[in-house]
Structure 1
Amino acid sequence: MTLSPSGRVDIVPQGEFHFEVRFFEGESDKRYRSWSLPLAAAEAITRWWLRRSLPLGEVPLSGESLKMDVRAEETCSISLKRVAGESDILELYRETPIADWLCYHNLWQGPHSYESPKLLIVTCMDYRIHLHVPERFAYVLRLAGANLRHREFDLACVLAFAGIRHVCLVGHTDCAMESLKDKREVFASGLQRVGGWSKSRAELQFDLFAPRLAIPNVVDFTLFEAAWLERRFPGVVVAPMIYDVKDSSLHQIVRQP
């Protein structure tokens, strides 16, 4: 999600390779325009939006988007690579705090404490996620689905005040946000029982926020969110990963054209 002078835009995964670009008008949740696009096209739309930050009245319609020279990829290969040894760490991450954490969490290698933080870890608030992190090594931000939409300022504070240049974005297997759209009744009854809310108020809350937080596929979402953050904050390396709740291991997400 990002903002313009007169609205905001949300990029939402829709299936394995497509993302919906949703434009909203002003501070309301009234949708202005939306497209369903292949991954490369959605990324290009995001880059264009961040560069221009135009009012919504100037956002091109789908037919006009051809003028933006968008080239969509038809297919791509996505795989998970577990770190069973230092040689499994992707070249991009070697000799960085990202590699240091992968070695510590998966291999139990490296110092047990540091003098100052080197890394920001963003992950889900799921109780099954137990991260092995050295003392004073990392800031840890836990959010539903590791979804930074509307929480971008939290990340920006860590970058600005602590000078962190490396981020690990960690989704996880069996994430409840993947099936969130099917939990409307459970959500409403739970807030009635525990929170003392009326059913209508709880349903309104769900209808307002669930579309922004729902994740059709956690691997796709984590990969795209990492790419979006890197474009939002040039100079920061964002590593997309998946945490396996069955064995507590970290896996790097690898995308190949």
Structure 2
Amino acid sequence: MASELNMSELVKVSEKADLFPKYRDTPIEELFKFHNFGVPFEKYDKAEILVGMCMDNRKHLKIPNNFAYVIRTGGGNLRFNEFKISYAIALGGVSCIAIIGHNHCGMVNLISKKKEFVKGMVENAGWNEKHAEEHFTSFAPIFEIENEIDFLHCEIKRLRDKYPKILIAPLFYNIEDNRLYLMEEDRTSV
């Protein structure tokens, strides 16, 4: 069973002073300004940041056009998306990445949803049961996350190791208040 999400690990960001110093005067600050603080949008000619976030339909970032490259995947899991990330860095010129996890993620304890998944693929997609089960069994272990915050920490470490010159921020989207939070553990990390 997945461990409970500990919201005390999150840092509420209501004003610039709440941001960790390493994120001030960066695209991470701009992201918070637009999304959390409701600052009017500025005009952007090119992306300043790459945002990786879950495909969950309950989340919507308040950001201006052209501000960010956005990759949406189940759980915000960016494995198998490294070329897209590299493209945004090499050709898009982004120097900052925000990985945004969220509470109540459907990828948590995914294995427990096998029966419902198979039934949905049979009824909604017209697959036969065997094919739907094989599909689930092949891919669920790749995309399942045990806990949203623990997964976010692991994904950030992996990406920081892969892209050492890029500022990478683990952020958290709280479905209840539709706001972005910082991760307490990231307060002192490099």
Q: Same fold (TM over 0.5)?
A: yes
Secondary structure (helix, strand or coil) at the match of 1:183 reads helix
User: Which residue, out of 76, 80, 85, partners 1:150?
Assistant: 80
User: Which residue, out of 180, 183, 186, partners 1:253?
Assistant: 183
Identify the residue that residue 166 of structure 2 maps to in structure 1: 236
Give the Cα–Cα distance (whole angstroms) in 1 for the partners of residues 165 and 181 of structure 2. Answer: 23
Question: Is this contact kept in 2: 1:168–1:239, CA < 8 A?
Answer: yes
Question: Is this contact kept in 2: 1:112–1:135, CA < 8 A?
Answer: no
Question: Is this contact kept in 2: 1:227–1:238, CA < 8 A?
Answer: no
Identify the residue that residue 111 of structure 2 maps to in structure 1: 181
- After superposing on structure 2, the runs of 4+ consecutive aligned residues of structure 1 that deviate more than 6 Å are none
Give the Cα–Cα distance (whole angstroms) in 2 for the partners of residues 201 and 131 of structure 1. Answer: 36
Identify the residue that residue 212 of structure 1 maps to in structure 2: 142
Q: Give the residue type in structure 2 aligned to 1:203.
A: E
* Structure 2 unaligned blocks of 5 or more: none
Greater fraction strand: 1
Identify the residue that residue 122 of structure 1 maps to in structure 2: 52
Q: Give the residue type in structure 2 aligned to 1:199.
A: E
Backbone CA RMSD of aligned residues: 1.8
Which structure is higher in RCO with an 8 Å CA cutoff and minimum separation 6?
2
Give the Cα–Cα distance (whole angstroms) in 1 for the partners of residues 184 and 82 of structure 2. Answer: 24
Give the Cα–Cα distance (whole angstroms) in 1 for the partners of residues 73 and 11 of structure 2. Answer: 24
Give the Cα–Cα distance (whole angstroms) in 1 for the partners of residues 153 and 24 of structure 2. Answer: 19
**Deviation at 1:115?**
2.1
**Deviation at 1:110?**
5.5
Give the Cα–Cα distance (whole angstroms) in 2 for the partners of residues 150 and 245 of structure 1. Answer: 26
User: Which residue, out of 96, 102, 105, partners 2:32?
Assistant: 102
Per-residue CA deviation, residues 67-98 of structure 1 (Å, 9 max, x unaligned), is xxxxxxxxxxx720111111000111111011
Question: Is this contact kept in 1: 2:59–2:173, CA < 8 A?
Answer: yes
Q: Give the residue type in structure 1 aligned to 2:112.
A: D
**Deviation at 1:112?**
2.8
Question: Share of identical aligned residues, percent?
Answer: 33
TM-score by length of 1: 0.68
Instruction: Count residues with an aligned counterpart.
Output: 183
Q: 1:84 and 2:84 equivalent?
A: no
Give the Cα–Cα distance (whole angstroms) in 2 for the partners of residues 115 and 197 of structure 1. Answer: 44
Give the Cα–Cα distance (whole angstroms) in 1 for the partners of residues 120 and 31 of structure 2. Answer: 37
TM-score by length of 2: 0.91
**Deviation at 1:134?**
1.5
Give the Cα–Cα distance (whole angstroms) in 2 for the partners of residues 242 and 79 of structure 1. Answer: 10
* Structure 1 unaligned blocks of 5 or more: 1-13, 17-77
User: Which residue, out of 98, 123, 129, partners 1:168?
Assistant: 98
Secondary structure (helix, strand or coil) at the match of 2:9 reads strand
Identify the residue that residue 201 of structure 1 maps to in structure 2: 131
Deviates most, 148-157 or 98-107: 148-157
Question: Is this contact kept in 2: 1:122–1:167, CA < 8 A?
Answer: yes
Secondary structure (helix, strand or coil) at the match of 2:168 reads strand
User: Which residue, out of 190, 197, 212, partners 2:120?
Assistant: 190
